[in-house]
Amino acid sequence: MADDAQSINLTNHFLIAMPGMDDGTFARSVVYVCEHSERGALGLIINKPGSINLADLFERVDLPLARRDLGVQPVFHGGPLQTERGFVLHEPVVADGLAPDQSIYASTLAVPGGLEMTTSKDVLEAMSSGGGPRRVLITLGYSSWGEGQLESEIAGNSWLTVNADADLIFDAPVEQRYDMALRLLGLEPWMLSPDVGHA
């Protein structure tokens, strides 16, 4: 059984909360998994906007925001941990002289086959001057699971999983992301009930 658990790698996948999940943080949530290993998992909720937008956030960190396209975007509630800390999910930024798995930002996790998650302020500084990654999703807080915890929750029918889709993260209307993530599996919300198993 241990070998099976180790063979599951949900990095660059969506976790889609099953309808029976009544946890206030995770009910009807879609989580982008940034990292998953035998030690646990880390992800960001991509469909729960908070009460501030990016213009507010940049004002709070004393940075101008030259990119007007970003100002009205919401800052998302990424999860219950470190809710005062910012996490920037973005497309990989390629720079001359850097290896493909290196980032131009000080503190970046490159998600294999997927996006990058940066926690250092330099990415915000790049955005404030009109540069930085083209498509971004910023959260306050993140979600985390300890060793074997996520696998146990999936076995208990708390989550459905599917390969992540960057267009859904960055371009889909926020209120439609849950239903659209289910459609990646060929499902509609009405097909699921709290006691349905895996599709």
pLDDT tens, position by position, 109-140: 989 888 999 999 999 999 998 888 889 999 99
pLDDT of residue 97: 60
Question: What are the structure tokens assigned to 74, written together?
Answer: 């919401």
CATH of the domain at 122: 3.40.1740.10
- What is the residue range of 56's domain? 2-191
Assess if residue 198 is contained within a domain.
Answer: no
Assess if residue 196 is contained within a domain.
Answer: no
- Burial class from Cβ neighbours inside 10 Å (0-12, 13-18, 19+) for residue 183 reads middle
pTM (2 d.p.): 0.90
- Residues of the chain with confidence (pLDDT) below 70: 1-7, 95-103, 193-199
Question: For residues 128 and 113, what is the distance between their CA atoms, to the nearest angstrom?
Answer: 27
Residue 190 has a CB neighbour count (10 Å cut-off) of 7
Nearest residue to 196 via CA among 161, 160, 157, 150? 157
The total number of structural domains that make up the chain = 1
Assess if residue 86 is contained within a domain.
Answer: yes
Nearest residue to 31 via CA among 18, 53, 19, 13? 13
